[in-house]
């Protein structure tokens, strides 16, 4: 009888130490390695940048959004594109396995990717950026360091966004600033973050909120706050978006995005003469609501197909 109690104790101990999000992340990494992706680091005196690279053909760079990392945000997209393209996806600085001694701002993110692409001897590429990664993608496209063949910005309003618009969202959810939504300070904050990400709200159990918080949140919170706080000044630095008009660009939007309203996507697309697609029944993280359609739209645009849903150039 005692032996059964001991076995049960150890089973409970093991299960309690297993994080479901860690398991899911490990599966994403295994999916990548099973599809011939290699992970590596670009290490300099001031930078430790973790990245994935796989496939062959023209280069496509994926830039993930806030709070997670490349393997968490893009695994299926990376695998799908690796059949026809060389895919590169890095963990942005202070996310995933990447960090830096440089100032905590958008410019540091962009220059880290410039260093990576130069190290990999990339001179021509297409760029896909989601949410915060969209800001990085715009900044990278404006550096004139590379020939940008195609640019896709998903749910990221670029420098045309009026920062004060976020205050309306803060009033609605009774928080002081948008940092309180995007940076969880305790497990219960994960529910609001989840509601911001997807179209249909789904009540997360206390167990799931705690699991997510312990794996993704509660890390580098000061750096994350600094990144968000620096965006208004960075917006002024990259205010000249005229060069983007020379790049074939798609602005892609989840029609029900609560963080950045659809009208902000339309405004940005119009400002740079870009194609614009708004997808019904999807929110800020469109791939979570309809990943199949998300991948199809990305693929069609990068491969020069032109569905009737495209508007713009």
Which phi and psi angles does 161 have, rounded to 5°?
-70, 135
pLDDT at 306: 64
Segment 43-82, tens digit of pLDDT: 999 999 999 999 999 999 999 998 789 999 999 999 999 9
Cα distances (Å, whole numbers) of residue 60 to 96, 114, 141, 235: 20, 14, 13, 25
User: What is the average pLDDT across 199-205?
Assistant: 87
The residue ranking higher by pLDDT, 179 or 112, is 112
pLDDT at 307: 53
Segment 75-105, tens digit of pLDDT: 999 999 999 999 999 999 999 999 999 999 9
pTM above 0.85, yes or no: yes
Reported as type and span, the H/E element at residue 17 is: helix 2-17
pLDDT band for position 257 (50/70/90)? very high
User: What is the average pLDDT across 164-185?
Assistant: 83
pLDDT at 283: 94
Find, among 21, 66, 88, 37, the residue nearest to 179 by Cα: 66
Residue labelled with tokens 């996806």: 89
Q: What's the length of the chain?
A: 313
Segment 210-237, tens digit of pLDDT: 888 888 777 788 999 999 888 888 888 8
Task: Pull the structure tokens for residue 222.
Answer: 């000061």
Answer for the pair 113, 61: CB distance below 8 angstroms, yes or no. yes
- Cα angle for residues 224, 63, 212 (degrees, 5° grid): 50
Query: Residues with Cβ < 8 Å from 18, sequence gap 6 or more?
Result: none
* Residue 311 predicted with pLDDT over 60: no
Mean pLDDT of the chain: 88
DSSP sequence for 47-86: EEEEEEEEE-SSEEEEE--TTS-HHHHSHHHHHHHTTTSE
Segment 16-27, tens digit of pLDDT: 457 888 898 999
* Residue 30 predicted with pLDDT over 90: yes
* Span 2-302 CATH architecture: 3-Layer(aba) Sandwich (3.40)
> Domains of the chain: which residue ranges?
2-302
d(CA 72, CA 23): 11
* Residue 2 predicted with pLDDT over 70: no
pLDDT band for position 193 (50/70/90)? confident
Cα distances (Å, whole numbers) of residue 120 to 113, 149, 208, 214, 298: 10, 17, 39, 34, 24
According to DSSP, the residues that pair with 40 across neighbouring strands are: 51
Q: Can you give the three-state secondary structure of 88-125, one letter per residue?
A: EEECCCCCCCCEECCCCCHHHHHHHHHHHHHHCCCCEE
pLDDT at 264: 93
- Cα angle for residues 10, 16, 20 (degrees, 5° grid): 135
């Amino acid at each position: 009888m005692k032996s059964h109690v001991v076995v049960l104790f150890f089973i409970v101990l093991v299960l309690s130490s297993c994080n479901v999000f860690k398991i899911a992340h490990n599966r994403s990494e295994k999916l990548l390695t099973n599809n011939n992706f290699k992970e590596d680091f670009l290490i300099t005196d001031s930078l430790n940048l973790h990245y994935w690279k796989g496939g062959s053909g023209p280069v496509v760079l994926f830039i993930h959004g806030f709070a997670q990392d490349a393997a968490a945000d893009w695994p299926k997209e990376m695998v799908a594109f690796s059949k026809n393209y060389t895919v590169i996806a890095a963990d942005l600085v202070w996310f995933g396995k990447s960090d830096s001694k440089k100032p905590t701002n958008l410019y540091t993110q962009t220059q880290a990717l410039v260093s990576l692409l130069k190290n990999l001897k990339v001179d021509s590429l297409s760029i896909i950026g989601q949410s915060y990664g969209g800001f990085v993608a715009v900044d990278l496209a404006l550096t004139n360091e590379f020939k940008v063949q195609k640019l896709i910005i998903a749910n990221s309003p670029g420098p045309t966004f009026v920062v004060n618009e976020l205050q309306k969202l803060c009033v609605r959810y009774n928080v002081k600033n948008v940092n309180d939504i995007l940076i969880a300070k305790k497990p219960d904050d994960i529910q609001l973050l989840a509601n911001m990400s997807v179209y249909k709200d789904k009540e997360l159990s206390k167990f799931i909120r705690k699991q997510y918080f312990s794996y993704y949140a509660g890390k580098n919170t000061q750096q994350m706050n600094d990144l968000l706080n620096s965006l208004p000044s960075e917006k002024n630095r990259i205010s000249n978006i005229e060069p983007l008009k020379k790049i074939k660009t798609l602005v892609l939007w989840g029609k029900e995005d609560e963080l950045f309203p659809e009208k902000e996507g339309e405004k940005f697309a119009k400002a740079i003469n870009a194609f614009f697609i708004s997808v019904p029944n999807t929110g800020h993280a469109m791939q979570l609501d309809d990943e199949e359609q998300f991948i199809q739209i990305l693929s069609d645009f990068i491969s020069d197909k032109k569905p009737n849903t495209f508007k713009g150039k």
